[in-house]
């Protein structure tokens, strides 16, 4: 049910041994975890340069699965901060 999707940050730490994770790598991980039906356009952004992680639209059930994925440190909602 993609109507109930929200945007989440999936933080995966540093790039493993300097290997940069690409969007296609993140989509592959998501498909392995959630299922092959995961639509690639739900991956909104991959952090590629300084650390590993991505931004994706996920359902609550998917968040649970992704949180248990190997290599995932945290999954949290894409919240809003404010200028001070």
The site for another protein (CB under 8 A) is made up of 7, 9, 11-18, 44-45, 47-51, 53, 55, 71, 73-74, 76-84
Nearer to another protein, 36 or 82 (CB): 82
Nearer to another protein, 14 or 37 (CB): 14
Q: What is the DSSP letter of 33?
A: H
Cα separation, 47 vs 24, whole angstroms:
12
To the nearest whole angstrom, how small is the minimum distance from the Cβ of residue 60 to another protein? 16
To the nearest whole angstrom, how small is the minimum distance from the Cβ of residue 31 to another protein? 21
To the nearest whole angstrom, how small is the minimum distance from the Cβ of residue 45 to another protein? 5
Nearer to another protein, 4 or 78 (CB): 78
Q: How far is CA 35 from CA 30, 31, 75, in A?
A: 7, 5, 18
What is the pairing mode between strands 43-47 and 74-77? Answer: unpaired
Residue 33 CB contacts under 8 Å (≥ 6 apart), including other chains = 65, 66, 69
């Amino acid at each position: 049910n993609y109507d109930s999707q929200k945007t989440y940050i999936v933080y995966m730490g540093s790039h493993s041994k300097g290997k940069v994770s690409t969007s296609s790598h993140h989509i592959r991980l998501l498909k392995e975890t959630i299922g092959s039906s995961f639509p690639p356009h739900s991956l909104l952004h991959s952090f590629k340069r300084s650390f590993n992680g991505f931004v994706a639209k996920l359902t609550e059930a998917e968040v649970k699965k992704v949180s248990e994925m190997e290599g995932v440190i945290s999954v949290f909602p894409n919240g809003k901060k404010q200028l001070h």
